[in-house]
Structure 1
Amino acid sequence: MKARLQAWIEILGDLFWLRPALIVLGCILLAQFGVWLETAHVAGYDPSSPDANWGYSGGAEGARALLSAIASSNIGVAGTTFSITIAALTLASGQMGPRLLRNFIRDGRNQTVLGIFLGTFAYSLMVLRTVRTVEEDPFVPHLAITGALVLALIAIGTLVWFVHHIATSINIETVVDAVQQDLCKAIEARTLDAADAARPSDVPTGNAVAKTGGGYLQAVDTDALADWAEENRITVALRVRPGDYVPSGFPVAFLSAGVEGADGAIARAVTLGRRPTSLQDLEYSIRQLVEIAVRALSPGINDPFTAGSVVDHLGDALCRIAPRYLATGAVVREGQVVLVHPVTDYDGLCDAMFHMIRQNAAGSVLVLGRMLDVLARVAEVERLADRLRELRRHADLVADAARRGVADPQDLGDLLERHARFVLVQETGRLA
């Protein structure tokens, strides 16, 4: 249930309208409260007082004109803000990939800016409807109108800040850094300080259960599923991990023995959705970074500098993983393995990071050289032999790609020299 709740919260972050709607609702309640303060005589504003120059001190006609101006200008600026946001999303989709749009939509700052403009508009309308002239029962809520002035000034500052934010947020380096920060958070959350329980060799392969509907596996409540397996004295072996697409009717788990109610228990522990999320998927941010690099290497864009920057950030992620341990996917209860689920291992992480970039950078000396340099730096930090062998495999693949795709002998010699430096680092732990 906890994992499913987290998945729902993740989905709420994708709703672009939610935060603006809450801000508009708050501004409406604030307008009602400001008017109530004067109608209930809880607080008031005396425009004839000598200290009344800090707020609105005019009459009903001036109040209507002022509130109308604030409302009309803010709804116009809100439309402009929305247009700028759509233009930024279009630019990001074309240059960095459509899957990066989710990061812009989830940006709470863009949502807050739109909410401030719409909230100021709603606030002004709610106060405007209460202003009455002398021909009617005269009433001018001076405190509430002063609040509209304050919101208008806040909106002016917000507009200036929004232009700055949108200009910096579509910068490719800003986007790469933001995705890399998400990757660092995922590494901190999904890796361990100490070695995990060993994965058993006798994983169940019978008693298939939980033939679910289609969708991406977003989260797995491993604690609840392990408790259920312990209670029923069985071992559960999941066949899919977060980020995988589960076809309709595909059995997602095997049990060591048949148990009544297994389908329902496993269905409650897994959360499927229309798109993958970063909630429990360590490779999610890696795929986003790789997509940026691959698009940058396409003939239409041809930006190897961006691809090189992505490789640098991926190397930083591997250096962060070096002192930590990856989960084995075995969950133990009272000394017995009760749940085994697929997890990302070090080989899979390196494959996800480097395969597609190397394949699309076959003729780019800059990117291939940067990959060899980054692998050498990671090898200086890494001390586990199996991980060093995996880094060596990718360095050899880069060298082979250079031999096939680089025609200039000097460029090829430079790349092979960098490969030799990597081999030296792998074998000795440092450069000569």
Structure 2
Amino acid sequence: MIGGVHLEAQWRKEALRTNLWVVPSVEVLLAVLLFVATWQVDRADYRGDITLPPWVISGTADAARQILAAIAAALITVVGVVFSIMIVTLTLASTQFGPRMMRTFIRDRTTQLTLGTFVGTFVYAVLALVSIGPVDDGEFVPHLSITVCMVLVLVDLAVLIYFIHHIATSIQLPRVIAGIAAELSAAIEAGAAEPRRTAAPDQGPDAAELHGRLDAAGAAVAAPASGYLQFVRHRTLVRMAADLGAVIRLEHRPGHFLVQGHRMATVWPAEAAPAVARSFARAHVTGPTRSLAQDIAFAVDQLVEIGIRALSTAVNDTFTTLTCVDWLGEGLCRIAEHWDPDPVHRDAGGHIRVLTVPVSYERLVQRAFEKIRQTATGMPAVLIRQLDALSAIMAATRAEEQRAVLLDQAAMIDRLARDTVPEPADREDIHRAYLAVLAAHSAVSQSL
């Protein structure tokens, strides 16, 4: 699959998953279809066309009404309980992990399936209940539908037990942190799969010359709406620019906040800007929150936020910060190995049509380490763990420029320790970890 198509599919999947109505709606629809099927079988049995097996529940219409009414009442009560548990979980996530963590719990598939299972069974029970009634030659009772409803209730009980277990484990910080790290890894792999070039040889001016033209004679294209830039359809922009014989430079990347009416892109030649502006809304998506589809810095920021909150005086949970540093180090190892975004996008003829500003490796390292380092003033355990992570990342680097960024971070940690850690033995431990970073750098440089 073409990388751009894969990224767009990932963004659409993420947009659908980060809500609480899609899965329950699908399950309600399936419940309606299931009832239609069982009702048809019950009607065939009532007409005498078929005979139901002996394990199917039988009884009078009044007994059936009482059973289904009791099931429906119990189910709607449990739905309220599940909803209350979910609200408590979201509140806990917002206060303990940060408001951006609510997205992780809203998109949790188990929660969505649990809500959908109970609501779907409720709808099925109500449909079965209203189907009971007099007909031309007697009173119709959907025996198979009642039996299936009882089976669904047993399934609901199993789902409820698993849901309680899932909530109890999912709110544990190590699970939350590992889940965010897994999303970061998936976003890195999706970005690495995006193609860098067309099959045609490079044609026309290079990126440096085009930047000069855009700066000298380019026209601005304003953002049509305010919000976080969530996704950019580069292929759409490339086709648009190729049809107009133009070059588009995006001034913002996914994750940046756009202000309506402010410059979002620059177009050269200037006369193509009005046509680009009219069609620009089709090529990007904005929203009230950030998305991971093209914004891997979002996952880094989430891990950093949890780590900083854990170091606050109100929480004082150093071990959670250490866990965040571990996973940040793992993610940056993957970034060092695989993250190489292309700032140019070419058309089928090999001409540059779109220039972007992807987040750099240096900026990702800074986002991962600097805020935690600044918050961990005088805390040897966190500073040593950061240096250990830098040593691990150093072994995964591919270029001296990447290693220079890590050396800068290690030197800042070592200076901070000398200035803020009062105990000489602790400073010596931190310095040994710093020397390990230098040794890792030397080993990697010599091996290349």
Tell me if both proteins adopt one fold, taking TM over 0.5 as the criterion. Answer: yes
Mapped contact 2:249–2:265 kept (Cα < 8 A):
yes
SS in 2 for 1:90: helix
**Residue 201 of structure 2 is aligned to residue 200 of structure 1:** no
SS in 2 for 1:423: helix
**Residue 22 of structure 2 is aligned to residue 18 of structure 1:** yes
Q: CA deviation at 1:64?
A: 1.9
Mapped contact 1:64–1:128 kept (Cα < 8 A):
yes
| Alignment-mate amino acid for residue 359 of structure 1 | Q
**Residue 380 of structure 2 is aligned to residue 358 of structure 1:** no
**Residue 303 of structure 2 is aligned to residue 289 of structure 1:** yes
1:137 maps to what in 2?
138
Mapped contact 1:210–1:253 kept (Cα < 8 A):
yes
**Residue 437 of structure 2 is aligned to residue 428 of structure 1:** no
- For the structure 1 residues 130 and 335, does the alpha-carbon distance in structure 2 shift closer, same or farther, using more than 3 Å as the test? closer
**Residue 172 of structure 2 is aligned to residue 149 of structure 1:** no
SS in 1 for 2:358: coil
Mapped contact 1:225–1:265 kept (Cα < 8 A):
no
Mapped contact 2:57–2:146 kept (Cα < 8 A):
yes
For residues 313 and 48 of structure 2, the distance between their equivalents in structure 1, rounded to whole angstroms, comes to: 67
- For the structure 1 residues 298 and 44, does the alpha-carbon distance in structure 2 shift closer, same or farther, using more than 3 Å as the test? farther
Q: CA deviation at 1:14?
A: 2.6
For residues 301 and 286 of structure 2, the distance between their equivalents in structure 1, rounded to whole angstroms, comes to: 19
- For the structure 1 residues 408 and 193, does the alpha-carbon distance in structure 2 shift closer, same or farther, using more than 3 Å as the test? farther
1:221 maps to what in 2?
233
For residues 107 and 301 of structure 1, the distance between their equivalents in structure 2, rounded to whole angstroms, comes to: 25
The equivalences for 1:32-431 within 5 A come to 32-41=36-45, 46=51, 52=54, 54-132=55-133, 137-191=138-192, 200-202=207-209, 203=211, 204-205=214-215, 206-258=218-270, 259=272, 260-333=274-347, 334-429=349-444
SS in 1 for 2:352: strand
Moved more, 295-304 or 228-237: 228-237
Q: CA deviation at 1:315?
A: 0.9
Mapped contact 2:188–2:339 kept (Cα < 8 A):
no
Q: CA deviation at 1:135?
A: 12
| Alignment-mate amino acid for residue 227 of structure 1 | R
- For the structure 1 residues 200 and 430, does the alpha-carbon distance in structure 2 shift closer, same or farther, using more than 3 Å as the test? closer
- For the structure 1 residues 240 and 134, does the alpha-carbon distance in structure 2 shift closer, same or farther, using more than 3 Å as the test? closer
For residues 199 and 178 of structure 1, the distance between their equivalents in structure 2, rounded to whole angstroms, comes to: 41
Mapped contact 1:38–1:44 kept (Cα < 8 A):
no
SS in 2 for 1:277: coil
For residues 321 and 103 of structure 1, the distance between their equivalents in structure 2, rounded to whole angstroms, comes to: 22
Mapped contact 2:373–2:383 kept (Cα < 8 A):
yes
Mapped contact 1:16–1:106 kept (Cα < 8 A):
yes
SS in 2 for 1:285: helix
Mapped contact 1:199–1:330 kept (Cα < 8 A):
no
- For the structure 1 residues 385 and 193, does the alpha-carbon distance in structure 2 shift closer, same or farther, using more than 3 Å as the test? farther
Q: CA deviation at 1:371?
A: 0.2
Q: CA deviation at 1:248?
A: 1.8
- For the structure 1 residues 62 and 330, does the alpha-carbon distance in structure 2 shift closer, same or farther, using more than 3 Å as the test? same
| Alignment-mate amino acid for residue 247 of structure 1 | V
Q: CA deviation at 1:36?
A: 2.6
For residues 376 and 168 of structure 1, the distance between their equivalents in structure 2, rounded to whole angstroms, comes to: 32
**Residue 31 of structure 2 is aligned to residue 27 of structure 1:** yes
Q: CA deviation at 1:233?
A: 2.2
Structure 1 runs of 4+ aligned residues shifted over 6 Å read 1-6, 42-45, 133-136, 193-199
Mapped contact 1:379–1:388 kept (Cα < 8 A):
yes
Q: CA deviation at 1:182?
A: 0.3
- For the structure 1 residues 211 and 318, does the alpha-carbon distance in structure 2 shift closer, same or farther, using more than 3 Å as the test? closer
| Alignment-mate amino acid for residue 379 of structure 2 | S
Q: For 1:53-97, what per-residue CA distance to the aligned partner results, in whole angstroms no more than 9, with x for missing partners?
A: x22022223222221222122111111111111111111111111
Q: CA deviation at 1:10?
A: 3.6
SS in 1 for 2:342: coil
For residues 434 and 48 of structure 2, the distance between their equivalents in structure 1, rounded to whole angstroms, comes to: 77
Gaps of 5+ in 1: none
Mapped contact 2:196–2:345 kept (Cα < 8 A):
no
| Alignment-mate amino acid for residue 279 of structure 1 | A
| Alignment-mate amino acid for residue 23 of structure 1 | E
Aligned sequence identity (%): 34
| Alignment-mate amino acid for residue 250 of structure 2 | L
Higher helix share: 2
| Alignment-mate amino acid for residue 271 of structure 1 | V
Mapped contact 1:37–1:44 kept (Cα < 8 A):
no
Q: Report the TM-score when normalising by structure 2.
A: 0.89
Q: CA deviation at 1:338?
A: 1.8
